[in-house]
Structure formats: C-alpha cells, structure tokens
Structure 1
Amino acid sequence: ELYSALGAPTVGAPVGLFPLFPSLLRIDYEWSEAGEAPSGQAERRQRQRQVNTRVKSPYVRRVRTAAFIISDITVLYLTMTENLDRPNGSELDLEAKVNLVSRNLQEVLGDARMNEIMKERDLKIYWGTATTGKPHVAYFVPMSKIADFLKAGCEVTILFADLHAYLDNMKAPWDLLELRVQYYEHVIKAMLTSIGVPLEKLRFVKGSSYQLGREFSLDVYRLVSMVTEHDAKKAGAEVVKQVDHPLLSSMLYPCLQALDEEYLHVDAQFGGVDQRKIFTFSEKYLPQLGYEKRIHLMNPMVPGLSGGKMSSSEEDSKIDLLDTAAAVKKKLKKAFCEPGNLEDNGVLAFVKHVLVPLTGTLVIERDEAHGGNTVYETYDQLEEDFRNLKLHPGDLKAMVEVQLNRLLDPIREVFQDPALQKLAAAAYPPAGKVAVVEELSPRRLDLRVGRVVQVDDHPDADALYVSRIDLAEPVGLRTVVSGLRQRLPREALLNQMVVLLCNLKPAKMRGVESQAMVLCASRDDQVELLKPPSGSKAGDRVFVEGYEGGDPDAQLNPKKKVWEKLQVDLKTSASLVAEWRGCPFVVGGQPVTCPSLKGAPIK
C-alpha cells in the first residue's frame, strides 16, 4: 500500500516490512472513514486533509498522505518494540548471556574473545549438520542449545552441509543430496518448532549454495596448498572415516568446514566435542589465510540407548524422530540404564542435555505405595537420587517416555502430510533402490557372526572341513564347507566366533551342500579367522561402516559376480582391522579384526 500511495507499481512487500504488518493493518483502519482517529491524532489528520484540498496534483497528495502514514507507522512500531520479548536478549546482562551460551557445554575454545565480543554486540554462531542419515532424538541436544543462543540474543545460522555429506565416504549418494537437504530442513524446522524456537530468528543455508562459488573454490585451493596430509587426517579423525588409504574427499572435509566459518560471517561455530580436532585445525589454518580465528563451542556427545555414541546407522542405539509412541516405549525399555550407573547412560544424558534445559522442573510419577511423586528442580538432584538407588530406572524411563513423546508429537503431526511422506521415502529409498544407485555397495552382503559348534572332516576331500555353525534365530544352524583343513587344526575352529557371508547361493562341494562362507585373512600359506569384537553374539549383523542402512540382497546372483567384485577391495589394515575400501567391518560399532596379518586379502 505504501508503494501504491507513492505512485509506484504494486509489488510484494519487502521482507523487512513483515514485522510492521500488524501496525499497517491498524493504521489502514484508522485512516479509513470507518475508523476513529486515535487520541491526539484527530487534529493532525484534519490539518493534513486541509493541506490536500489546496493541492491539485493527485501525485503530491499521495506523497503527503504517505508521509503521514509513515510517521504513524514509525511511532507505533517504536512503541510496539518497547514491549516485545526482544530476540537480541537486550534485557539480559552480560553474565546472564554468557551463562546461557555456555551452559551444558563440555568445552569452549576462545571464551575470553567471546566475552569481549558480547560486551560490544550480539554473538554470531553457526551450527552445521551433514545431510546423511535420518536425524534422531539426540539432535534435540543441539536444538536445545540453539534455543539458549537465541535467548542470549545471538544471531544463529543453521548450515545444511550437503557437500560434506558426500565427501564423508559418499554417505549420501549424489543423486539423493538435494532430497536429503529438503528432508533435513523440514525435520529440523519441525524439531525447533516443537521446543518453541521461533524460526524467523534463524538463518538457514545450504552448503552448496556458496561452496561451489569462485571465491570459496579459490580459498579451498589456497588452503590445501598449506595443509599436510597428516593434519587433514588428524582433523577428521573423529568425524569422517579415517583409514590407512583414505579417499582424498575425506581430507577435504575439514578444509571446507574451516572455510565455512569465514563464508558464513560468524564469530563462533557450535558442534559436538567429537569435532574438536576440526575446530583446532580451523584455528591453526584460517589465520594463515588472513582470516580471523573463530570461537568454538562444544556440547558433549549423548550416548546411544545401548551405550556409546548415538548413531543414525545403528537402529537399536537410537530413537528416530518419526518413531511411533509404541516404538519409543519398546526402545526405551531395552535401553541400557543400570541402577546407580551414570556411565554411558543415554537415558540420563537425554534428561540432562534436553529435558532439563527445555522443561526445567521434572516430575517422577509413582503410586503412593512406591513412594509417591517426586519433583526435581535440578538435574543434580535427580542424578544424586539415581546414583543412590532412590530413583529406579523404570520410573526414570517412564518419565522420559512421556516427555519425549510430547516433543515428538508435533513432528509426527507435521509428517502426516503426504508430500513430506513422499519426500522421506524418496530421500531414503529402500535397499533395493539404493543398490541401483550404488551397484557394488557392501550393503548387499549379509554378513553375520556365527559360533562353530561342530567340525568334521569332509568324507571325500582331504582339504575340506564340514562345520555346523550357529547363527541364532531366525537363521539357525547352517552347514558350511570350508577349505581350511590343511591350514587350521580342528581345535582352532571349534567353539570359535567367526564372520560368515550368508547370502551366497548354496553350492555343493564334493557332494555336501555349503550354505555360507567363513571369512579369513589370508596371505600365502598363512590363514587367520576374522574375529568379531568381544561381546558379539551368534546372529549379530556385521556391517561395513558407512553402509549400514537398508537390507542385504536375499541371495547374491552368481551371474552378477557381486561378491567377486566386492572381494577385490577387502583386506586387513595396518591396525589389523577388516576393511572394504578402507571402511571397517563393525559389530555394534566395534571393529572386526584378525590376530596378526596386516594388509592381507580377505577371502
């Protein structure tokens, strides 16, 4: 309307006028014949109308009317902002702001510099996430900190790091990058909304929107001319897959992340403590490019439900944001939460880093016969009761279940939209569709832990054993014919935990059908069984790290030579870990190894 009043073409209001919309509506009503002039404005408005009667030019009349309207807008807007809950935290003193920014962080690098900046102006922070696996409930940890940053008046940018997702061992296939960015954006926004964070206070950026530009690309070349292979590998050691012979992409990853700090124009980067080496890498190399060293804020890593880091690739270690209430109950029931044990306790960690910052007071609801309800004003009180066995894991889990479902319900509701359900299915297609994109993915191999319960000599072949190997239900016992008779004594096999390839087509070997294959490291006449990590059970799935998603082929087609093509890149590392193209075999996040053969092919 202002544009029209000034005789300009009618166009959409610029973004900057959106906060004035309520004022515009009010003033529009007051200046109409139906509205009554607010106190103190009637005389002024009458004077303006008298001026207009003496002006013959309709353009000049429009300009003068616009001037009076703009004056009203200015007065009302300034009055309105006096009563707003300001996003810049101006009502807080410096100490309160610093406490909000730093609470529940494990470490801050550059806290003195942060305090100096916050004395002068609001802090600019960014948090980045590589768009790989589906976000899970541990993402509420950074979301709750983002809420703290906004309360402290910080300017916050969220980076959807799509190129990083591809550089990290191609965790996100190139064809799916854009779809996963869209999925992440919808999920992250739904999470933030569920905890009451206003989205208009945030800036959302896609990495490839600037990382493919000329200036950024030139800076990448400048940076890699300074960085040693050692420093690049060390920087990404806790984040990207580090192997004996890494892909070049894995060493570019920390370089791009360091440059993001400059190109997003921020004072600080926020992330998990697992990124500390990337942060110190940035502090070392950005000044060498002539850029300012940034502040780094690190939250602790939340343990998974089974202990260890919560991971998108381990289904049993995480609760998905779209899990049903029944699935949440089932997973929490199985979660590791030993009475009195505070170590690797994902349930307690979630309470500390998500529920307490978001809800404050926590109530454990119990029957009077079991002590009645207990109210906890602080996390320390709750932890103390848990340590002293005054709070039972079952009661703790029940409270977490209720609170977690309250957080997840708004997200589930958002994803009832058929368009978003279609997006989720396209961004994370079933295994069969993934295999089309990634023909030689080790996802296609059904690798499992088995226990050898019987070893016999093959009746018709001197070089073969016939073994019975337990793979637990639903697979059960399988007969396996192996060429190990002249390489390993029977005692070296019996009652051992081994790694089996279970989806080869069954084949008869000298009259006995073999239903799986035992994997060994082999060089010349030396042969060693691959050893699952301690604590592995018969039937446990063995994954190649980074390729955990989806289901394996029901049966490998022998005509396609899938196993033969994948086997070429299977070998042990210098640290005796079984790998495919440098990615370790894992069971429950722990590596599969061999006793002594380094750099040996796996057959």
Structure 2
Amino acid sequence: MSEKVMTTKEKMALITRNLQEVIGTAKLEKIIAERDLVLYWGTAPTGRPHIAYFVPLSKIADFLLAGCKVKILFANIHAYLDNMKAPLELVEYRTQYYEGVIKAVLESIGVPLDKLEFVRGTDYQLSKEYVLDVYKLSSLCTLRDAQKAGTEVVKQVSNPLLSGLLYPGLQALDEEYLKVDAQFGGVDQRKIFMLAEKYLPSIGYEKRIHLMNPMVPGLTGSKMSASDPNSKIDLLDDEKSVNKKIKMAFCEPGNIENNGLLSFAKAVIFPVWSLKGLGHFEIKRKKEHGGDVTFNTYEELELAFKEEKVYPADLKSGIAAAINVLLQPVREKLDTPEFKKLSGKAYPAVVKKDLTPSEQALEEFSKVKMVVGEIKEITNHPEADHLYVTKIDAGEECPRTIVAGLAKYIPKEELLNKKVVIVANLKPMKLRQVESNGMIVAASVGDKVEIVSPPSSATNGDRIVIEGVSGEPEAQLNPKKDTLKKVLEKLSTTTIDSKPTVVYLDDPLLVGGGSCTVNSLIGAEIK
C-alpha cells in the first residue's frame, strides 16, 4: 500500500472511525497536529487468539496508517497470575505465538509495521520503580473505586481475590511506564480508564487520552469467547471449519440489534476491505434467490437485512466467504515447521487422567453455571396453563427470559421479586413458542415444590459454588452429554444448622457468604 501525506483532519478521522468513545479529543487533535501519537493496546497471552482479535487489530491498522506509534503490551505476568494456570515458560511460548499471529494479521491487512513495537509486562513491571508506584497507588485508591473499576473486566464473585482489586491500578500505571499519549481498548474498560484519569495525577503523572472500541458480540449473540467453540473461530481454522461455525451462528431475520455477524461486518470487514482496496462486500446467491448482491457501505447491508431483502442464509454465506479471505494469508504465513513447533509448545496437548467417581462428580458440577437471579416480571404462558414466563435479572445487560413449570405449585405473587437460583448456560430452547434461556432450580417432594433460594447477601449474577471447586463452567452445556441431569441427580436437601440446605453430594451450595436453602422440604429432589 503506497503511503501518502495525511492532513490532521484525515488522521483524526482515521484514528477515531468506528470508535464508540474518545476521552481527550482536544488533546488528541493537538498532538497529531504536532507529531506522531504514541498509544498502546494490551492483551494477556492465555488462550489461542480467535477472530475477535480482528476487531482491535483492524483499529490498530488504522492507527498505524495514520502515522501513530503503536505499542502492543503482552501482559505475561497477568497471564501467569491467572489462577496460576500456566507456568512462566509456557506463558513465554504463548507470548511468542501471539506475536507471530498478530504480525501475520496486520501484514495480511497490508499496513506498515515500522512504527509497531511489542512489549512484555516483565520488561518493566518487576522493576523497583514500578513496584513502588504500585504501593503509592494502593495507598490512595479506595476499595470502592478499585471494585467499581473492575466490574466489567474482572470476574465478579462473592469472595473476590485481592488481585482483582489491584488489576485496574496496574493497568493505569502501564500508561506511564510505556510512555504513551493514549490507551486503546474496548468500552468495557471505561471504568479502568476513569480510574487512571483520577489517580495517575495524584502520584505526579499526567492523564492520558482513552480510545474505546464498541463491544462486538460473538456469533452466538453473546461476547465472543475462546471458551465457547460455537462463538469463536480460531485464526488458523481452515475454510471448512469457518463455514461450519458461521452456519451455526445466531442470526434472526431482520434482527440488527443482536447480530454478531453484522457487528463483525461493521467493525472488521468493511474497514479492512477499505484498507486493502477490495471494494464492495459481495454475497453470492442463486438466481432463483435473487442473484448476487453487492454493498459498498455497511449501512447498505444493515438496511437490506433489516428489510429482509437479505436473509440469514445469505448473510452467513457472505460473512463466511469474507472471513476466509481475511484468514487465508494468515494461514499461509504461519504454515511453517517453526510456527507449528511453537504452537505445540505454547498449547501442548492435554492428557486427561482417569478421574475417580468423586473427582468426576466435582468436574461435572463445575461445568454447570448456576447463578443468582431475581424474578422481575412473571406472567402466565399464553399457550400452557402449567407454565410461567419470567424475566430474570441475573446481573447481565438485559433480563433473560426463562419459562418455568411452576404455575401449578407456586402463586405468581410469591415469586415476583424473589431471588432464585438459575442454570444460566443451557442451550436456548422454545417451550410452546416462547424461547427459554435457562431454568429455575427448585426442590420437590411428591406434589410439593419449593424454590431454591440464595442467601440475602448474594448479588444478582453471583455464581453458585461448592467448597474446593472453582473450574470454569462450559459456555453452553452439550445436551447430548447429560451433564446437567447428572448434576441434578446428586443434588438434594438436608438439615444443616437447623435449615433445609441444598447440598451436592454432601457439600452445601454456597454464594454470597452463605448457603442455598429451601423453605421446608427435607430429602427433596432438585430439578
């Protein structure tokens, strides 16, 4: 791609396009009128980078084309401290893997890399000066501010680790030690950015500019995640795998609000097509289905989908083809014996040991995501007398709809505004034409049914745990494996401290510093 001299206005437009928010616009414009902007973006080298990395990297391509100096921070200490899941040697291999993949992606887009720099957290985060500043910041930052800053990016649990409170302050200090003008990240990091603006001046450092990308949902409609095989496409997936995963993507006709495919097209495909000079976005269709159709702008595509001139199958085929165009040069560049050897070291095959029945039961429990929810609305199902349709606040952006078979047992008024335990990672399913996204956990003895209740100290969204079990739940339970059924069979109620308490085998279900209970049923089944 040939370079050209850009005006300040052109640089400003390129740097800020498709961002959701910019804090420090006047300062940004002043700097780029005088010199190159220096900014950084950070990532922890943990799981394999997936296609969602194209979202920040396509913006980094904009920054590089606008003449910015870009530093990419590999937060290797943070990756190591992530529940001590990987030794430092393994994290180093993963850091090299990330560096190779990110370079390949940016080169495939066609941007110059002469102003790109890779930095490791260990380059400065263990220094005497940095550690002293950590102590200084810790002496000034309040517990409330630290908790608030991490709410969007630090896993929220009833008994959080100290590291989660320190993390926002450490990220704020990175701005000073990397000597940058700006930090770039997702809008989910806004509260961390606000903490940096508040506290860095208190220890003698200046405020930085903050550039925020919108959050892009995954292909299932939720945040793109490496732990959800249906939500993420590996950057080295072959064409067949890409087509299969896109075919499984959540995509309702005319729905432009919760559509990961459209969001990816807006954030990545159209900007990258513009950078690469590829022209329009094309969807190939049979003549009987309207023939091939092209779009010069994202807005044209969105409108056509909203008006159902483009159907889900059309959009999926076009997005799959575009993703394969994006990934092909990355596949080719990294198809070397050296990179394959590095991949094996960074992500060695896991040899699973034979588990005892007790260990197997605990592993099964960890896969089920039970959380605290609060019933905010409840109505009778329009087509089934025995069903309720509930709206439940589970600490998420929007209440989730759950259809529950409780109408014959518990009056609506006893359930409204009641805190309950829900299973949150079931595959959505339609029950008499109403989609249900989870289940309410209840206990039963004969024809008596009672709701499982969390303690009053629990917060909506808190995960239900048992002592000593902290594994990650599956993004979505596989119905063929009957994991939930096996877990429910091992749940029952017994008396602990004079209360009817729900136990898994012999361990009580815990959340918010207390146990989950029922009103009166002892020896009940849980369903």
TM-score of the pair, normalised by structure 2: 0.70
Match of 1:268 among 175, 178, 182: 182
In the other structure, the counterpart of 2:302 is 383
Name the structure 2 match of 1:357: 271
Report what 2:115 is aligned to.
201
Classify 1:494/1:238 alpha carbon distance in 2 versus 1 (closer, same or farther; 3 Å): closer
How far residue 413 of structure 1 moved from its aligned partner, in angstroms, is: 2.4
Residue 572 (str. 1) matches residue 479 (str. 2): no
Letter matched to residue 30 of structure 2: E
- Give the whole-Å Cα distance in 2 for the aligned partners of 1:499 and 1:244: 10
Residue 93 in structure 1 maps to residue 15 in structure 2: no
**Counterpart in 2 of 1:166?**
80
Contact 2:236-2:330 within 8 A present in 1 as well = yes
Residues 181, 363 of structure 1: CA spacing in aligned structure 2 closer, same or farther, 3 A cutoff?
same
Query: Match for 1:319 among 228, 233, 241?
Result: 233
* 2:313 equivalent to 1:341: no
Contact 2:266 2:298 in 1 (8 A): yes
Take 1:242 and 1:434, find their aligned partners in 2: how far apart are those partners?
31
Query: 1:175, CA displacement in angstroms?
Result: 4.9
Q: How does 1:446-465 map to 2 (within 5 A)?
A: 446-447=364-365
Measured against aligned partners, the alpha-carbon deviations of 1:534-556 in whole angstroms (never above 9, x if no partner) come to xxxxxxxxxxxxxxxxxxxxxxx
How do residues 528-567 of structure 1 correspond to structure 2 at under 5 angstroms? none
Matches within 5 A, 1:239-258: 239-258=153-172
Residue 197 of structure 1: CA displacement?
A: 2.4
CA contact (8 A) 1:161 1:207 kept: yes
What are the within-5 Å matches in structure 2 for residues 283-302 of structure 1? 283-302=197-216
In structure 1, the partner of 2:445 is 489
1:229–1:519 CA distance, 2 compared to 1 (3 A): farther
Aligned 1:183-222 pairs, distance under 5 A:
183-222=97-136
Q: Does residue 1:418 correspond to 2:337, yes or no?
A: yes
Q: Which amino acid in the other structure matches residue 571 of structure 1?
A: L
Instruction: Tell me, in whole angstroms, the C-alpha distance in 2 between the residues paired with 1:156 and 1:434.
Output: 44
Q: Which has the higher contact order (CA 8 A, sep 6+)?
A: 2
2-structure distance, mates of 1:384, 1:132: 38
Deviation at residue 105 of structure 1 after TM alignment: 0.5
Q: CA deviation at 1:432?
A: 3.4
1:445 aligns with 2:418: no
What CA RMSD, in Å, does the superposition of the two structures yield over aligned residues? Answer: 3.8
Give the partner amino acid of 1:406: V
1:179 shift after superposition:
1.8
Deviant stretches of 4+, over 6 Å: 433-436, 440-444, 493-496, 498-501, 593-597
**Length, aligned pairs only:** 415
Secondary structure of the residue aligned to 2:285 is coil
Give the SS at the match of 2:257. coil
**Which of the numbers 37, 53, 62 marks the counterpart of 1:123?**
37
Residue type at the aligned position of 2:182: A
Correspondent of 2:218 among 299, 304, 308: 304
Secondary structure of 1:315's counterpart equals: coil
Q: How does 1:576-595 map to 2 (within 5 A)?
A: none
In structure 2, how many angstroms separate the alpha carbons of the residues matched to 1:351 and 1:404? 10
2:64 and 2:113 in contact (8 A); partners too: no
Going from structure 1 to structure 2, the CA distance change for 1:222 and 1:403 (only over 3 Å counts) comes to same
Specify the structure having the higher radius of gyration (Cα).
1
User: Aligned-pair distance for 1:385?
Assistant: 0.6
Q: Is the 8 A contact 1:449 1:499 kept in 2?
A: no
Residue 128 of structure 1 deviates from its aligned partner by 0.7
- Amino acid across the alignment from 2:56: P
| Corresponding position of 1:394 | 313
Unaligned runs of 5+ in 2: 275-279, 370-404, 406-425, 427-442, 453-463, 470-484, 521-525
Choose which of 473, 485, 490 in structure 2 pairs with 1:518.
490
Q: Which letter does structure 2 place at the counterpart of 1:573?
A: G
Paired amino acid for 1:156: V
Classify the secondary structure of the residue corresponding to 1:283. Answer: helix
Secondary structure of the residue that 1:258 maps to in structure 2?
A: helix
Name the counterpart of 2:417: none
Any idea what the Cα deviations from partners look like across 1:400-425, whole Å, max 9, x if unmatched? 11111111122222333233223223
Q: Which runs of 5+ in 1 are unaligned?
A: 1-83, 454-471, 473-486, 502-513, 532-562, 579-592, 598-602
Specify whether residues 251 and 372 from structure 1 end up closer, same or farther in structure 2 by C-alpha distance, changes over 3 A only.
same
Tell me by how many angstroms 1:318 deviates.
Answer: 1.0
CA displacement at 1:303 relative to structure 2: 0.5
How much has 1:251 moved relative to structure 2? 1.6
d(CA) in 1 for partners of 2:315 and 2:136?
A: 52
Percent identity, please. Answer: 52
